[in-house]
Amino acid sequence: MTAPDKPVLLTGASGNLGRMLARELGAQGWVLRLTDIALFPDPLPPGAVFVQSDLDDGLALVRQAEGVGTILHFGGVSVERPFEEVLGPNLRGLYHVYEAARREAARVVFASSNHSIGFHERPQGNQPKLDADCHFRPDGYYGLSKAYGELMGRLYWDKHGVENVNLRIGSCFPKPLDNRALSTWLSYADLARLVARCTLAERVGHAVIWGCSRNPQSFWGHDHRDRIGWQPEDTAEDCRAAVEGIRADPVTERYQGGGFTAMEYSRATPAPRDHFSLE
């Protein structure tokens, strides 16, 4: 696969997904600028540079983005945390990313999450799968920050013409971990190929793509993957025998967001499927 003409900035480079992407894209000859609040724990890919910085530091991010063609935004809090912990990196930090992209006329590839829609119920029987234009139903402050991120991408596309692809990542681990992952699992290899196509595609506009592998049991339907020419190649079905019996509590099993939905859950009965219904 060819490398992009301009350098690529990767935030969150020291996290599990960032490290994998740095390794895979660096091996393809990409010129990478890596940044994270934590030190990069691996040997740097050939031609890559790493700058330790906080997403709250807008000036540092603008400087790191000078001359780049794409910002791969994988930085920020990546699990459910109290609102005050999510606020800085996931809201203000995202604003700094989009301001840098606007200044450089760069594309943003945003690591969104299935937790932005986590309180949609899992489809049963012949019920339709969830399409990319569904309502947001975040399952916590982390998911709320991802919905905010997708809406900021919409704003910057409409107002400034900043192209962005929002990857609603499911469960991205080396292998599926439980029964839910038969629907949500995204392999590392499929994610690397997805990010590469998001970067190299000629034009994307404002797009949303479900980040899951070729799983027949997937919760998710139509998205914008045709714009970038990507189709997943791996499947969670290869691990079905090992994980299909691993289940959790009823709240976790009811909703697409899994365990995040059950954290501090206090309803006596489930919320209605219709957002505004009383029944």
10 Å Cβ neighbour count for 103? 13
- The reply to whether 107 falls in a domain is yes
Catalytic residue among 141, 142, 148, 188: 142
**Across the strands, what pairs with 209?**
167
Under 8 Å between Cβ of 215 and 187: no
Structural domain range at position 74: 8-262
- Could you say which DSSP state residue 87 is in? I
Cα–chain center distance at 170: 8
Active site residue 142: yes
What was the pLDDT predicted at 273?
Answer: 84
Question: What pLDDT score was predicted for residue 276?
Answer: 83
- Specify the number of domains making up the chain: 1
pLDDT band at residue 52 using 50, 70 and 90 as cut-offs: very high
In-domain check, residue 226: yes
When pLDDT is cut at 50, 70 and 90, the band that residue 71 belongs to is very high
Strand locations in 6-97 (E): 8-11, 32-36, 49-52, 70-73
- For the stretch 157-216, pLDDT in tens is 999 999 999 999 999 999 999 999 999 999 999 999 999 999 999 999 999 999 999 999
In a domain, 114, yes or no: yes
Does residue 59 lie in a domain region?
Answer: yes
* Burial annotation 11-35 (CB, 10 A radius, 16+ → b, else e): bbbbbebbbbbbebbbeeebbbbbb
With 0-12 / 13-18 / 19 or more C-beta atoms within 10 angstroms meaning exposed / middle / buried, residue 258 is buried
Which residue shows structure tokens 């392999």? 187
CATH number of residue 128's parent domain: 3.40.50.720
User: Is 251 inside a domain boundary?
Assistant: yes
Look at residue 154 and tell me if it is in a domain: yes
Residue 113's H or E segment, with its range, is strand 107-113
pTM above 0.85, yes or no: yes
